[in-house]
Chains A and B, each alone.
Chain A
Amino acid sequence: MAEGSIAAAGGIAARHEEAGFLGFTRPQALAFLVLVAAVLVSPFFLYPVFLMKILCFALFACAFNLLIGYVGLLSFGHAAYFGMGAYVTGYAAKAWSVPPELAILMGGAIGAALGLPFGWLAIRRTGIYFAMITLALAQMVYFFALQAPFTGGEDGIQAIPRGTLFGIFDLTADLTMYWLVAAIFLVGFLLIHRIVHSPFGQVMKAIRDNEPRATSLGYRTDDYKLMAFVLSAGLAGIAGGTKALVFNIATLTDVLWTMSGEVVLMTLVGGLGTVFGPVVGAAVIITMQNYLAEFGAWVTVIQGGIFIACVLAFRRGVVGEIGNALKVKL
């Protein structure tokens, strides 16, 4: 694909990758250690609920990045999987008293299950068409969520219990919940990293860079794209489910198309196609929303402004720019 390809922006298109610790390059391994340290230490200094929100969205953004960064497909409808994940986890935990670990997995399962037909339909087209189709399909999910009785319509599912993890750890305490969220995030993060560096991931990247060539090499590219789509949707569902437990609530906001826009923004700010970009992007955007809440409608203006600034001047995103300055891939 051309130099201006959206996925190449983060500098992921480097040809050779030396594998090191967990498949990280040395700078990446260092950055990963910093990330782990931050995850471990920050709850003692910062408000855990706020940190959990960042981690949930970071996982969501990483899942989204799997599709845009490594397959080159921009989904504008990821809210559907995130939101349905939240609803199913919330409903299972509340109505059936399912334990939290299982409820979150059910959220992931519904995300993947939804991703299968939607992906099957959407990967027929690429680029802008793909974005618009995913948007339209997500809009249908929104209407469904509004109508279906189990979602509680406009009120959403309220007072979702966090429950007891493995029947041992009571998650009502914010800090206990935090460790669960941190674990889910880190596992999800490493899983995505692992997938990207597997042979499967290599084929994905080949498709992104030159689909006809991948086809001519005998790969059934549609199958690969669909698999990546389902994986991404499933992880988004897990992120949504985790968020539902943290905030005890699952609502229409999670399935609304503005949520799809937000995850694009996070990934863009952090750096499309970078390993750590989505995490940084999520942290920046959530922090910003938190601080700017009192400015009312200006939040929209500022978010829009950031969108514009990123597209015009910082296509690599925060992490991409840092990596570029240090001449390393992050």
Chain B
Amino acid sequence: MDDLLFELSLILPQIILGLVNGAFYALLSLGLAIIFGMLNVINFAHGAQFMMGAFAAWMLLNWLGIGYWGALVLAPLLVGIIGIVIEKTMIARLYKLDHLYGLLLTFGIALVIEGIFRNEFGSSGLSYATPPEFRALDLELGDFFLPGYRVWVVIVAVVMCLATWLVIEKTRIGAYLRAAVERPQLVQAFGVNVPRMMTLTYGAGVALAAFAGVLAAPIYSVHPGMGANFIITVFAVVVIGGMGSILGAVVTGFMLGLVQGITDVFWSEASATVVFVIMAIVLLTRPAGLFGRA
């Protein structure tokens, strides 16, 4: 009985910590899902853009003296603009072609971005201090100490995901978006500028990745490879959730964070592989993903 209680007291913190990881998965796969839904492009550069967000926060702080809150707004904006430029100059040329070209192009873009940051900042990683105001949120549960910043990450990720979902499902812009996914020509005929909408969608998806990057900066070491660590897992999350499904991306993201958090306790060796095993099972039983339509 004591054992069980002990295990339980172990699990509760893990659930919370798992949610933090889930928050990152959710934010990243949400951006991927939006981009894929609208542009039909798998954005391989998503990890690199996440990394750029973290670096942008670091540069804003160390070069311009702009702190965390400013970075939370400015970094996604800056990286989003870079995303818009990338879309305008490169991705937009590929819409009429096989979607795989989009994957290859963004793979190349990811290599270039990572390489440039490696040259500029080395690889040992930079530190971004946690803003002190989050100390007020620190939680102390017996032996378990939960930094306030992690609580903040979960809250802000949930809010962000909800807001995105609301924009897409409940607003006029969202309605245009959904319509343009189904029938681009028709929507264009109604006088909606579909190409611009695609550009802005890509920018928004990239900004979401950068936003996640700023959130991650105080937790992880800020280094050029930080996005590549995430991106393959996030791909698996997207496949499990079902491509293009926004709800699927968010729910699966949080869920897999939880599953990983619990695996960490019972079988830590498997916590990196568990996502791929789940992916294989989902593919066997529901090839379109948990929330996808076939």
Do A's and B's CB atoms come within 8 Å in the complex?
Answer: yes
Instruction: Please judge, given known A-B contacts A297-B115, A301-B115, A301-B116, whether A307 and B235 are in contact too, CB under 8 Å.
Output: no
- For the A-B complex, the count of residue pairs with Cβ-Cβ distances under 8 Å equals 125
Q: Determine whether the beta carbon of A128 is less than 8 Å from that of B99.
A: yes
8 Å CB contact of A74 from B96, B103, B114, B277: B103
Q: What 1/0 flags go to B93-111 for Cβ under 8 Å of A?
A: 1101111110111011111
Whether A307 and B98, one on each chain, are in contact in the complex, defined by CB atoms closer than 8 angstroms, is no
**Contact code string A237-276 (vs B, CB < 8 Å = 1, else 0):** 0000000000000000000010001001000100000000
Residue from A132, A139, A147, A315 in contact with B42 in the complex, judged by beta carbons closer than 8 Å:
A132
Q: Tell me, yes or no, whether B165 is within 8 Å of chain A by CB.
A: no
Contacts known (A4-B98, A133-B239); A297 close to B119, Cβ less than 8 A: yes
Q: Does B273 contact A (CB under 8 A)?
A: yes
B272 within 8 A of A: yes
B167 at the interface (CB under 8 A from A): no
**Is B180 an interface position by the 8 A CB rule?**
no
Q: Known contacts A136-B239, A143-B272, A143-B273; is A4 also within 8 Å of B119 by CB? A: no
B283 touches A124 (CB 8 A): yes
Quick one: which of B26-72 are within 8 Å of A by CB?
Answer: 36, 42
Q: Closest CB of chain A to B98's CB: distance in Å?
A: 4
Known: A127-B100, A307-B107. A300 touches B287 (CB 8 A): no
Looking at the assembled complex, report how far the CB atom of A40 sits from the nearest CB atom of chain B, in whole angstroms.
34
Asked if A38 lies at the interface with its beta carbon under 8 angstroms from chain B, I say: no
Determine the main DSSP class of A at the interface with B.
Answer: helix
Would B284 and A298 count as touching, CB distance under 8 A?
no
Which residues of A84-128 are within 8 A (CB) of B? Answer: 121, 124-125, 127-128
Q: Are B235 and A312 in contact (CB under 8 A)?
A: no
Query: Which residue of B has the minimal Cβ distance to A117?
Result: B280
Enumerate chain B residues within 8 angstroms of A207, measured Cβ to Cβ.
none
Given B101, B108, B113, B276, which contacts A139 in the complex, CB threshold below 8 Å?
B276
Is A301 touching B42 in the complex (CB atoms < 8 A)? no
Collect the chain B residues with CB atoms within 8 Å of residue A264's CB: 104, 107
A124-B287, A308-B109 known; A129 and B119 CB under 8 Å? Answer: no
Q: With the chains together, A222 CA to B110 CA distance in Å?
A: 33
Q: A299-B115, A312-B90, A315-B101 are in contact. List 5 more A-B contacts (CB 8 A).
A: A6-B97, A74-B103, A132-B236, A304-B113, A307-B108
